[in-house]
Amino acid sequence: DAGITQSPRHKVTETGTPVTLRCHQTENHRYMYWYRQDPGHGLRLIHYSYGVKDTDKGEVSDGYSVSRSKTEDFLLTLESATSSQTSVYFCAISAGVGYEQYFGPGTRLTVT
Amino acid sequence: RKEVEQDPGPFNVPEGATVAFNCTYSNSASQSFFWYRQDCRKEPKLLMSVYSSGNEDGRFTAQLNRASQYISLLIRDSKLSDSATYLCVVNSAGNTGKLIFGQGTTLQVKP
């Protein structure tokens, strides 16, 4: 299995609080992605990174920010969590354009 | 129209059956195609890449029809352990490395 970890694996937080999710890889892959998965919507891309300090928005980026200061770490921040951000968040990595992506185990976030 | 469309199912089949899933994609410029498997409450895992010439991995066969923008997955001799959701995945055109995921087809294999 690809070396991808996510932390925390589960989190319950209150509306309005900031939350940071971490994705860590040991594969030295250039591309990293954050997705959310909700019933009826499938996997939706939030943000992605194509190198250290190089990030771009996905299809559902509102309310989220990301940072990548090292190849191995990609952070997703919810500046002020809302109940609509209750979801399962997956991180993925890829060696390059057109390559397959490998997923981390996911973080279950509940915003009350 | 969704970029990647799949029949959500569920497909309920007996053990030993052969089952086929289909998927259509809208962007004719897409170059990379995959099937992923996702078990309940788990992360998606790569099942196989799909090549233009078609490819087989044990009981699994994937086919690509670029002219019709259609991808298929055939599972022979279904096992109980094949029960899962199967995601059709296509790369987004351009140099972003982004993949577009279908919503998945659910397979339930019954004893």
Q: Are A105 and A92 in contact (CB under 8 A)?
A: no
- A56 CB contacts (<8 Å, ≥6 apart)? A47, A48, A49, A50, B96
Give the pLDDT band of residue B2 (cuts 50, 70, 90). Answer: confident
pLDDT tens across B43-62, in order? 999 999 998 888 999 999 99
Pairing of strands B70-75, A42-51: unpaired
Spatial separation of the C-alpha atoms in residues B28 and B96, rounded to whole Å? 17
Question: What is the average per-residue pLDDT within B22-42?
Answer: 93
Please tell me the predicted confidence (pLDDT) of residue B92: 82
pLDDT tens across A7-35, in order? 999 999 999 999 999 999 999 999 999 99
User: Do A98 and B46 count as a contact with CB atoms less than 8 A apart?
Assistant: no
Q: Which of B43, B95, B96 sits opposite A103 (nearest CB)?
A: B43
User: Do B32 and A56 count as a contact with CB atoms less than 8 A apart?
Assistant: no
Residue B98 has pLDDT above 90, yes or no: no
Q: Which two tokens stand for residue B8?
A: 């959500």
Q: Which two tokens stand for residue B97?
A: 């490395």
Nearest 5°: the CA angle B47, B64, A50 is 60
Q: Are B38 and A92 in contact (CB under 8 A)?
A: no
CA-based nearest distance B50→chain A, Å: 11
Please tell me the predicted confidence (pLDDT) of residue A1: 64
SS (H, E, C) chain A: CCCEEEECCEEEECCCCCEEEEEEECCCCCEEEEEEEECCCEEEEEEEEEECCEEEECCCCCCEEEEEEECCEEEEEECCCCHHHCEEEEEEEECCCCCCEEECCCEEEEEC
User: Do B96 and A56 count as a contact with CB atoms less than 8 A apart?
Assistant: yes
Place of tokens 């209150």: A14
Q: Which of A41, A39, A45, A35 is closest to A6 using CA atoms?
A: A35
Please tell me the predicted confidence (pLDDT) of residue A2: 67
Q: Which two tokens stand for residue B56?
A: 């087989």
Spatial separation of the C-alpha atoms in residues A66 and A60, rounded to whole Å? 13
With contacts defined as CB-CB under 8 Å, which chain B residues touch A43?
44, 87, 101
Residues composing chain A: 112
